[in-house]
Chains A and B, each alone.
Chain A
Amino acid sequence: MPEQHHTIERHSIAEHHSTSEHRSTAEHHDTAESPAPNAPAPNAPAPNALEVRGLTKFYGRRPAEALERLRDGATRAELAGLGTAAVIDVDFDVRQGEIFVVMGLSGSGKSSLIRMLNGLVEPTAGTVTVMGETLTGVAPRRLRGIRRKHVAMVFQHFALLPHLSVLDNTAYGLEIQGVPASERRERAERVLERVGLADWGHRFPSELSGGMQQRVGLARALAADADILLMDEAFSALDPLIRREMQEQLVELQQELGKTIVFITHDLNEAMFLGDRIAVMRDGRVVQIGTAEEILTDPADDYVAQFVQDVDRARVLTAGNVMEAPRALASAAAGPRAALRAMRDLQTSMVFVVASGRKLLGVAHDRDVLRLVRRGERSLDGAISADFAAVGPDVHLSELFESSVEQELPLAVVDDEGRLLGAVPRVTLLAALGNVPTDTAELQVLQTPATVSAEVMTATLRETAAAAPPDTPLPVDELALIEGSAS
């Protein structure tokens, strides 16, 4: 399996520019070995890498008239007589270290949009600001400077130079930047190693498969060491297996290098998998911008809703998105009687047992708790079992199925410190995939039906009530009340 050695190594080759300040090429080299900081912390407002305001591209005669009518809300179809309004009044910001996906069907204007972000296409109206530098309407020389410094691009059909070796292709951006030959060779080799093509530098692009050629395309963009990567349908020409592999590699690289990425795609699943935020385009306009989950669960209009109905929700939604509040919950400090009561009330066979601060200790099954109560034990410890599966909130649903099948119990969702955040019963998992609301109490009860009948529990509680500690949460008469309602 030659692809295996593509596993990314954890050292960094190009540092991330966390500010819009730019260092000279020489300094770049000096600091090239420093570890790359990860993407900015989610709470810290990262400065915008890219700001797009009122961006419009109209192909045709009389652009002024077209612009005026577009401003009055004319649609693309209404302007068909004049020409084509490829992109209409688009606004968005891309934060540093973010993967921003522009998603739309072919002809929605996304290709013109990405080409305006580096000035390959001149906007009819609006501005593009890259790392604080305005790109619109500047002299060609200045525009070339901004491209060299700030924006690299990866193309749908790779766009490698067929007459240059893989190494020379990778070093192409550096060559244009005027980096000396020996240095650019060294840097290109490091990037090639990183994308898993270390041994292919002397080959020609035509000797590589599609996936490998696109790795060269990616390496060329990374080697240029620009702040922003524009990726134009970069994986669309690859077959599905390779595409998936490249998507995962891209996410991995992005997390290491903290590059800002603008990714164009017509594939919603790809958009959802890659995008920190997604802009959905239709007929030249952006109809919604939001996270994958926002677009999936709260589509802005019918078009988006229709669009997302086929999406592989399991790859988008995470445990944290779908989890429910863990109602079957018992505090270890409250003892076995409280646990049993909770189980009886919820008619469930298990409860999550938590310590102070909702730290998850394990689960307790009704039979075990019943036994403890009968024995008159004060501590729940004897009934706590580790027979449960816990997942982090960021785990995708697609990774939950296996655990969910193996486990009778809901999956516990815990954070890094082991605190219980919620639970994902099987029903919830299914409902999330089918986009069915789960906020009905019945579903929860059906999950793990009690293996011991409520009558037995009540009886046990009553029998042992005399031996119960004085601090039992519920007085006996109140218990009787519940009994009445339960039976």
Chain B
Amino acid sequence: MNDFRLPLGDLAEGFIDVLTDTLGWFFSIVRTVFLAFYDAVEFVLVTPPFWVVILALAALAWVLKGWKLSLGTALGLLVIVGVDQWEHAMESLALVLVASAIAIALAVPVGIWTAGSDLASRIVRPVLDFMQTMPAFVYLIPALILFRVGVVPGIVATIVFAMAPGVRLTELGIRGVDSEVVEAGHAFGASRGRILRQIQLPLAMPSIMAGVNQVIMLSLSMVVIAGMVGAGGLGGDVVASLNRIDVALGFEAGLSVVILAIILDRITGALGAGRRRRDTTSRSTDAAARPDVDETPVPAASVAA
């Protein structure tokens, strides 16, 4: 029995070979599209002077949350400029934004699909488990073969790795919508598409936004790994410092990743919390006008849930 061995590795390799042979044209189209997408975003972030980008991001933070986040964003980005990592940080940011955007664009429809069908959910769940727990490095190998060295295998590996929470939280959010409200949509004769648009998606939005936030954070954690396949950016610096045992460079690049992560997390977090915050403020101001003389007010939480 000693010589028995499951040839799974060979199978995977054979599968990738077949893919390269038969679908090579497809992968080169994907490569071109992703590259163009990345170049466009990178151009926007890298071309203007750093202070323009900092001002823009600070303004965004102000609009979404308030002056504190805005100030923190500006200071954090200035630190990145101060350690001379600005350009690499913007490359990484571009990679994160592109990968997250594509991951979300794929994850939300899949989440909607699995929320509507138990069979789909049962099929997709183990696939997501696989995507999320397979060590991220492993994706780089086939990605390298299929998309060649550069930023694209980094993006693809990031998408695969980061997509899972987007699907899961979308499904969770839609399944969590009060079934009676969905039933109300049906009872008044709304079509499925309408119920999805007018009831399920808006009510699942907090959960979906949490998914978006998770996708972005996971993408950022992939940035370093993507550096190993020549994606450049901060990941490139981290990999280089590891090779040279360069503590100084490693710390500066690593710190820049952390700063980017915190800023992205807070901004996307504010995006999701935005509606909830507006609801609570309007509720508390109107509470005084509520006629609860002879009626017991329903706890707001039960409605929001």
A contacts, CB < 8 Å to B: 1-3, 115, 118, 120, 144-148, 151-153, 155-157, 159-163, 172-173, 176-177, 203-213, 220, 224, 230, 239, 241-242
Contacts and interface: CB of A to CB of B under 8 A. Distances in A.
Q: Which 5 A/B pairs are nearest by Cβ-Cβ distance?
A: A2-B291, A148-B189, A209-B295, A147-B189, A159-B184
A153 B198 contact: no
Contact of A144 (B189, B290, B291, B292): B189
B286 to A, nearest CB: 5
Contact of A210 (B184, B186, B297): B297
A251 to B, nearest CB: 19
B129 interface: no
Given A1-B294, A204-B282, A210-B295, A161 B188 contact: no
Contact of A209 (B279, B282, B291): B291
Contacts of B292: 209
Nearest to A115: B183
Given A144-B190, A203-B286, A212 B295 contact: yes
Given A155-B183, A161-B199, A3 B188 contact: no
A242 B189 contact: no
B295 A148 contact: no
Given A148-B188, A160-B184, A206-B283, 10 more contacts: A1-B293, A3-B294, A146-B189, A147-B189, A152-B187, A159-B181, A204-B279, A209-B291, A209-B296, A224-B188
Contacts of B183: 115, 120, 155, 159
B91 to A, nearest CB: 39
B181 A207 contact: no
B21 interface: no
Contact of B187 (A151, A207, A210, A241): A151
A209 B184 contact: no
B17 interface: no
Interface in B251-305: 275, 279, 282-283, 286, 290-298, 300, 303-304
A345 B134 CA distance: 103
A453 B34 CA distance: 112
A167 B187 CA distance: 19
10 contacts: A2-B293, A3-B293, A120-B187, A148-B189, A159-B184, A161-B181, A173-B188, A206-B283, A208-B297, A213-B303
Best-buried of A151, A153, A162, A210 by chain B (most CB within 10 Å): A162
Contacts of B295: 3, 209-212, 239, 242
A206 B191 contact: no
A211 B297 CA distance: 8
B194 interface: yes
Contacts of B191: 144
Interface in B64-82: none
Contact of A147 (B178, B188, B293, B297): B188
Contacts of A161: 181, 184, 198-199, 202-203
B303 A162 contact: yes
Interface of B: 178, 180-181, 183-184, 186-191, 194, 198-199, 202-203, 275, 279, 282-283, 286, 290-298, 300, 303-304
A143 to B, nearest CB: 8
Contacts of B198: 161
Nearest to A155: B180
A204 B276 CA distance: 13
A209 B303 CA distance: 11
A211 B294 CA distance: 10
Best-buried of B180, B187, B275 by chain A (most CB within 10 Å): B187
Contacts of A148: 188-189
B189 A162 contact: no
A213 B188 contact: no
Contacts of B286: 203, 207
Nearest to B180: A159
Contacts of A157: 178, 180
A206 B187 contact: no
Nearest to B303: A206
Given A148-B189, A163-B203, A153 B294 contact: no
A128 B298 CA distance: 36
B293 A145 contact: no
Given A204-B279, A206-B283, A153 B184 contact: yes
A162 B279 CA distance: 10
A133 to B, nearest CB: 13
A179 to B, nearest CB: 12
A206 B188 contact: no
Contacts of B304: 162, 206
Nearest to B292: A209
B283 A207 contact: yes
A242 B189 CA distance: 30
Contacts of A144: 189-191
A155 B202 contact: no
Given A2-B291, A148-B189, A205 B303 contact: yes
A54 to B, nearest CB: 23
B202 A213 contact: no
B250 to A, nearest CB: 47
Given A157-B180, A161-B181, A172 B188 contact: yes
Nearest to A226: B188
